[in-house]
Chains A and B, each alone.
Chain A
């Protein structure tokens, strides 16, 4: 999980953030002003400062926010001057936008605010639809407006060229004032809430920002996008009353609180209308006491009434934003906020501490209990400070399981009657006057006037004051109180005095401990106990006024170090054992054990063993997809016999016993011949496939189905261990390993034999042994020093940790170190199909011959919203079905695509000839698994490449390039074998989004743009890791390229029609090469390795029994003088999606006679066993 921030404002208006990875509140030093309120998204935080202006803090990222301005220069030909800027009077402007209607001279472009800067000056774009143009970038046409071409013809009368300039948002990690248009904003803002990023498929950055003015009016900020983080203008929304506070969830929920205590709910919010259409009034939870605060998430609404009671709204969802009823919850809070994943944050009424609602899950949205966040602030004496420890005790007092105190809750929602019975809560507080109550800060600050804390309320909190006194404050005081001198002034001494005293005693104590103990962790333990003995000081913990979890990505499973508990101290104690100590201890144990074995056994090896080693058989029942027609599942008995071979190596045989024509028969496979075990796991059966070289040739594996998923995993784990044992493979994959990924996201790795790239007799591809590694990826890339990166279906970047196993692997087949939780999210699509008829228009009644009205993309299978399940039991739905508008070909406003008939090409608008239409629905599902992968936050990627170092090279920093999912080109800094995740991204500017990238052994960087053209990056070297400029390389004629791979010198690309191209004429002096040469069709993906070896994923490969799509193939005959090779050798296949051979830099043995077999290669099957297999097969088929 990448770290994210929880934001809070204390009663003095100081803004703090707490990182999910951290353990203390960090003050936002940059904020010169005090803030009233903040509202955060993951990428930014908005706030209202005490000057009533709105400020935006966009978090720094390696990816710049840049916006491309463009304008066109138009020329017309005349016989005198040739092409010139003299246009006809009827013509467009000389400088215009693309349509020609808008006058746009270069100097008309100004920066939108002080937060922007120009990246460079204007320049001419020489790329025209993926084709490079002549110098000058002119495109020609007969007349305006017409079709432009890059070639000048005899009849070209006009020409134009495109000028571009980038501006960049520079105000990052700082509070930048949003320039306020004076018009229409008569009164200052009082509340602010952002959200709505989930209502459209816009990239992260689109926000809905709602604000409330002091007069109770509601404003909506328009036009906030990734490229325009500040938004463009305020739009007033009419409201049925005066609004006090508003809350906007990540989805389409917006609730607000009215002065009178009712709540209003915004309806009609959607993709096309983020500001919604109308308000609906919902009554306050309690008939006598009005609501004062509301917080909404995706599917939840929490509210607080004026008596500080907390309420949960039942039955809220997108279709019913009003929900169905209130449930009283335990706890007394002054404000509440719902953050990401519907997690709830609140500020306690009594102690002004920040509370987290524990146990909020999608099935139990109301959570279980309030848990106080007790971490020190960076201003406090941090770490072993007394304040931390007093918080700790406060935490003990308030945390999780309740003892005695009614302040915090125990379990599930409780009724109104169960509410705490402290004196303060019995009588609802007097109605807070209009002007002060809208700011807790003013209320609180005024409460803290010295000498006024005479309340008889719990002794824990002396600042809990008589609210009536707070009320007497006259309104202007609120504003003044916000300035530090006024508010902090009289109070500061009180704080700092105490702080100093305690700090001194603390230092003394800690010092003494430090003398006696040599490790700091010990000392922290010591101070911990010391601190526990201290009396509980009420003044010690910070008083919070506002909290916002909109940017804080946690869920109920997150590990947070924010809560005091016993576990934490235990953990800190266990941490006092250093890895070195552990290693020394292990060594000692191991030596003692070895010594013991030697002492007790060495002279007695001739003694008989008490237990004889025997064959170990594991049996079970399964179903087998029988080899002969008609194919069907038949019940079989399944047995694995394991035994020790003559040299002590383990081996085994697999038996499948079945009945055929009432005759008992069996099929067997030697474990040492099994090349791969592939889990197929679909929603109907728990199936897996077993391949041997023979079965790979046939394209017909042994397909088995277990009764339960658990059983399948047990068998897979066992068979996998057995296969690895028989081949002597254990531990993590080597640096040379070949990695591949299936279309199900399963990851496989193969150890290359030295003969794999040998000439002329390489190890056949179908003999490669693949073993599975836990995790779920879409792309994996490696190099030969062991740096491995992966990209998930949700574009998350992952780095390989050096572990092995994970997933369903258990026992010793999996390392416990280096195995982490990995999640992935993908969308499942179904299609709604309709046919037009003259009477009713489009309906879901099709012709009898038509496809299902709800189907998959092919239309052949019925897929309804209810019967469509996640791909396997491991996946769970995480969203509802929603219309998908991002379909190629475009859609109309309701997501429909039209066509003349099924199946045909669809377009996003309706014509007279269209009789059918369809739209795509998407639903997200999430997988949680484990594997040797760690996330590389925060930028989502779509492609990655690592320099394929040869094994001998001692390069310290490993060049790694990537493409973000928005198409930005990125260069990773600080990647070494010790820190494979690197440190940060360097953004490499491009004029258009990219989709594929590859770096060769000599720092040649090639990339493919989204428009299908290729680019070469000039001057990339270890000294200049990002290079200097892009060279546009025309793609093969009429082909749009989609992927590139660069080896030692070879450059290969794949186009969208499945053609594989080799770049001719690449030399060190002319690295761009001269032309593309066609090598093969039927190719999906290519991987060129450090030996210039070429491996592909082939689209279709025909075997003797069947055909497989997505097959690993190896180019044979590739030699230094013949880099294009001769033919393909077919390996594992059927559902493979990606392969990388960029780790294998093992030079093959120079001379290799056909009779010599490599001992470390998988044992070549003897002709005899092959014949046996065939006999077997025949028997099966008869």
Chain B
């Protein structure tokens, strides 16, 4: 799979057109215009929304601003899920662009993790990679990498640099031919509780090297 540059590029350059609007309860000095952005599916919300924040801060007073968080149709969006996952989980059936509401107060402590800085995202991202490699190579590959290699992976994601990222991620996706494959193929199941349905959607994301890129299988289990 790691050979298939076309597929890898399509996965990497997957974008979700998004419309950010400020929540009505937020106090503004003048009316806030919605903000339109193409979000990379493989990245994290809080990593790619600096522009959004800047846009809305222009119309707000500093004292009204707390930590920014996002919500879609009443559901707070977990920043530590990849953007693509969030979209597929919550909004895959809606019309584009995806309409996200931006909040600057009333942080839903019960639903969301705080994200004070990018280093928190980095730590989360690296831990996913490490988990995946533990399953694939008994962590041998990730442990053999140097600090700067880890940094390159992260910078690749952060700056949306496909080549930079894959120069490193390639190592995580290789296996010695004599071993005939990964030890285990890591995947993560994301579940959304939608009590209105009798069905539960379970999203299985193959953690192919990094979180959720390769494949999204949607299983509908009848419970």
> Across the interface, which residues of B come within 8 angstroms of A574, CB to CB?
180-181
Q: Does A616 touch B at the CB level, under 8 Å?
A: yes
Say how far B159's CB is from chain A's closest CB, in angstroms: 6
Contacts A600-B16, A604-B17, A610-B48 given; does A589 touch B215 at CB 8 Å: yes
- Distance in angstroms between the alpha carbons of A600 and B41 in the assembled complex: 11
Q: Does A601 touch B at the CB level, under 8 Å?
A: yes
- Distance in angstroms between the alpha carbons of A718 and B166 in the assembled complex: 12
Is the CB–CB distance between B10 and A597 below 8 Å?
yes
> Across the interface, which residues of A come within 8 angstroms of B48, CB to CB?
610-611
- Distance in angstroms between the alpha carbons of A559 and B176 in the assembled complex: 12
> Across the interface, which residues of A come within 8 angstroms of B159, CB to CB?
611, 614, 616
Task: Please tell me which one of the listed residues B2, B15, B171 contacts residue A600 in the complex, with CB atoms under 8 A apart.
Answer: B15
> Across the interface, which residues of A come within 8 angstroms of B171, CB to CB?
810
Category for how many chain B residues contact A: 35 or more
Say how far B71's CB is from chain A's closest CB, in angstroms: 18
Is the CB–CB distance between A597 and B14 below 8 Å?
yes
Kindly report which residue of chain A lies nearest to residue B19, judged by CB atoms. A607
Kindly report which residue of chain B lies nearest to residue A819, judged by CB atoms. B177
Say how far A229's CB is from chain B's closest CB, in angstroms: 35
> Across the interface, which residues of A come within 8 angstroms of B158, CB to CB?
611
Q: Does B167 touch A at the CB level, under 8 Å?
A: yes
> Across the interface, which residues of B come within 8 angstroms of A597, CB to CB?
10, 13-15
Task: Please tell me which one of the listed residues A586, A610, A616 contacts residue B38 in the complex, with CB atoms under 8 A apart.
Answer: A610
Contacts A600-B96, A601-B38 given; does A610 touch B43 at CB 8 Å: yes
Contacts A567-B180, A611-B40 given; does A718 touch B167 at CB 8 Å: yes
Contacts A610-B37, A611-B48 given; does A571 touch B180 at CB 8 Å: yes
- Distance in angstroms between the alpha carbons of A817 and B5 in the assembled complex: 13
Is the CB–CB distance between A610 and B49 below 8 Å?
yes
Is the CB–CB distance between A600 and B37 below 8 Å?
no
Is the CB–CB distance between B36 and A570 below 8 Å?
no
> Across the interface, which residues of B come within 8 angstroms of A589, CB to CB?
7, 215
> Across the interface, which residues of B come within 8 angstroms of A567, CB to CB?
179-180
- Distance in angstroms between the alpha carbons of A718 and B170 in the assembled complex: 13
Is the CB–CB distance between B38 and A812 below 8 Å?
no
Q: Does B29 touch A at the CB level, under 8 Å?
A: no
- Count of A interface residues, CB-CB < 8 Å: 34
Contacts A571-B180, A593-B10, A718-B167 given; does A586 touch B4 at CB 8 Å: yes
Kindly report which residue of chain B lies nearest to residue A722, judged by CB atoms. B163
Is the CB–CB distance between A590 and B17 below 8 Å?
no
Q: Does B124 touch A at the CB level, under 8 Å?
A: no
- Distance in angstroms between the alpha carbons of A816 and B176 in the assembled complex: 10
- Distance in angstroms between the alpha carbons of A717 and B166 in the assembled complex: 13
Q: Could you give, for residues 597-624 of chain A, a 1 whenever the CB lies within 8 Å of some chain B CB and a 0 otherwise?
A: 1011101100111110110100000000
- Distance in angstroms between the alpha carbons of A491 and B122 in the assembled complex: 71
> Across the interface, which residues of A come within 8 angstroms of B36, CB to CB?
604, 607-608
Q: Does B174 touch A at the CB level, under 8 Å?
A: yes
Q: Does A1141 touch B at the CB level, under 8 Å?
A: no
Say how far A434's CB is from chain B's closest CB, in angstroms: 47
Kindly report which residue of chain A lies nearest to residue B5, judged by CB atoms. A812
Q: Does B25 touch A at the CB level, under 8 Å?
A: no
Q: Does A403 touch B at the CB level, under 8 Å?
A: no
Q: Does B11 touch A at the CB level, under 8 Å?
A: yes
Q: Does B204 touch A at the CB level, under 8 Å?
A: no
Q: Which of A574, A596, A812 has the most CB of B within 10 A?
A: A812
Q: Which of A559, A570, A610, A611 has the most CB of B within 10 A?
A: A610
Q: Does A1082 touch B at the CB level, under 8 Å?
A: no
Kindly report which residue of chain A lies nearest to residue B180, judged by CB atoms. A571
Is the CB–CB distance between A604 and B10 below 8 Å?
no
Contacts A594-B10, A601-B15 given; does A812 touch B160 at CB 8 Å: no
Q: Does B51 touch A at the CB level, under 8 Å?
A: yes
Q: Does B178 touch A at the CB level, under 8 Å?
A: yes
Q: Could you give, for residues 552-593 of chain A, a 1 whenever the CB lies within 8 Å of some chain B CB and a 0 otherwise?
A: 000000010000000100110010000000000010011001
- Distance in angstroms between the alpha carbons of A721 and B164 in the assembled complex: 11
Is the CB–CB distance between A811 and B170 below 8 Å?
yes
Is the CB–CB distance between B3 and A815 below 8 Å?
yes
Kindly report which residue of chain A lies nearest to residue B155, judged by CB atoms. A616
- Distance in angstroms between the alpha carbons of A817 and B4 in the assembled complex: 11
- Distance in angstroms between the alpha carbons of A571 and B178 in the assembled complex: 10
Contacts A567-B180, A574-B181, A816-B174 given; does A590 touch B6 at CB 8 Å: yes
Kindly report which residue of chain A lies nearest to residue B161, judged by CB atoms. A616
Say how far A821's CB is from chain B's closest CB, in angstroms: 9
> Across the interface, which residues of A come within 8 angstroms of B43, CB to CB?
610-611
Chain B 171-207 residues near chain A, CB threshold 8 A: 171, 174, 178-181
- Distance in angstroms between the alpha carbons of A607 and B180 in the assembled complex: 44
> Across the interface, which residues of A come within 8 angstroms of B180, CB to CB?
567, 570-571, 574
Kindly report which residue of chain A lies nearest to residue B52, judged by CB atoms. A610
> Across the interface, which residues of B come within 8 angstroms of A717, CB to CB?
167
Say how far A172's CB is from chain B's closest CB, in angstroms: 33
Task: Please tell me which one of the listed residues B3, B16, B49, B179 contacts residue A816 in the complex, with CB atoms under 8 A apart.
Answer: B3
Say how far B21's CB is from chain A's closest CB, in angstroms: 15
Is the CB–CB distance between B17 and A601 below 8 Å?
yes
Is the CB–CB distance between A811 and B166 below 8 Å?
yes
Is the CB–CB distance between B3 and A607 below 8 Å?
no
Q: Which of B2, B38, B49, B96 has the most CB of A within 10 A?
A: B38
Q: Could you give, for residues 45-61 of chain A, a 1 whenever the CB lies within 8 Å of some chain B CB and a 0 otherwise?
A: 00000000000000000
Kindly report which residue of chain B lies nearest to residue A611, judged by CB atoms. B160
> Across the interface, which residues of B come within 8 angstroms of A609, CB to CB?
15, 37-38, 160
Is the CB–CB distance between A610 and B167 below 8 Å?
no
Is the CB–CB distance between A810 and B161 below 8 Å?
no
- Distance in angstroms between the alpha carbons of A88 and B48 in the assembled complex: 107
Say how far A353's CB is from chain B's closest CB, in angstroms: 24
Say how far B108's CB is from chain A's closest CB, in angstroms: 23
- Distance in angstroms between the alpha carbons of A962 and B5 in the assembled complex: 38
Is the CB–CB distance between B51 and A590 below 8 Å?
no
- Distance in angstroms between the alpha carbons of A80 and B114 in the assembled complex: 120
Kindly report which residue of chain A lies nearest to residue B159, judged by CB atoms. A611
- Distance in angstroms between the alpha carbons of A810 and B38 in the assembled complex: 31
- Distance in angstroms between the alpha carbons of A570 and B182 in the assembled complex: 11
> Across the interface, which residues of A come within 8 angstroms of B37, CB to CB?
607-610
- Distance in angstroms between the alpha carbons of A604 and B40 in the assembled complex: 13
> Across the interface, which residues of A come within 8 angstroms of B13, CB to CB?
597
- Distance in angstroms between the alpha carbons of A559 and B49 in the assembled complex: 51
Kindly report which residue of chain B lies nearest to residue A613, judged by CB atoms. B160
Is the CB–CB distance between A600 and B17 below 8 Å?
yes
Is the CB–CB distance between B14 and A600 below 8 Å?
yes
Q: Could you give, for residues 707-723 of chain A, a 1 whenever the CB lies within 8 Å of some chain B CB and a 0 otherwise?
A: 00000000001100100
Is the CB–CB distance between B39 and A610 below 8 Å?
yes
- Distance in angstroms between the alpha carbons of A717 and B149 in the assembled complex: 14
- Distance in angstroms between the alpha carbons of A614 and B160 in the assembled complex: 10
Say how far A813's CB is from chain B's closest CB, in angstroms: 9
Kindly report which residue of chain B lies nearest to residue A821, judged by CB atoms. B177
Say how far A713's CB is from chain B's closest CB, in angstroms: 12
Kindly report which residue of chain B lies nearest to residue A620, judged by CB atoms. B148
- Distance in angstroms between the alpha carbons of A593 and B41 in the assembled complex: 12
- Distance in angstroms between the alpha carbons of A72 and B121 in the assembled complex: 89
- Distance in angstroms between the alpha carbons of A993 and B215 in the assembled complex: 60
Q: Which of A571, A594, A616 has the most CB of B within 10 A?
A: A616
> Across the interface, which residues of A come within 8 angstroms of B161, CB to CB?
616
Task: Please tell me which one of the listed residues B2, B51, B174, B179 contacts residue A608 in the complex, with CB atoms under 8 A apart.
Answer: B51
> Across the interface, which residues of A come within 8 angstroms of B4, CB to CB?
586, 590
Shortest beta-carbon contacts, A-B, top 6: A604-B17, A610-B48, A811-B167, A611-B160, A593-B10, A811-B170
**What is A's interface to B at a CB cutoff of 8 Å?**
559, 567, 570-571, 574, 586, 589-590, 593-594, 596-597, 599-601, 603-604, 607-611, 613-614, 616, 717-718, 721, 810-812, 815-817
20 contacts between A and B (CB under 8 A): A586-B7, A589-B7, A589-B215, A590-B7, A593-B7, A597-B15, A600-B15, A600-B16, A600-B17, A601-B38, A604-B96, A604-B97, A607-B36, A609-B160, A611-B158, A611-B159, A613-B160, A810-B167, A812-B163, A816-B2
Q: A600-B16, A610-B51 are in contact. List 7 more A-B contacts (CB 8 A).
A: A594-B10, A604-B17, A604-B96, A607-B97, A611-B160, A616-B161, A817-B3
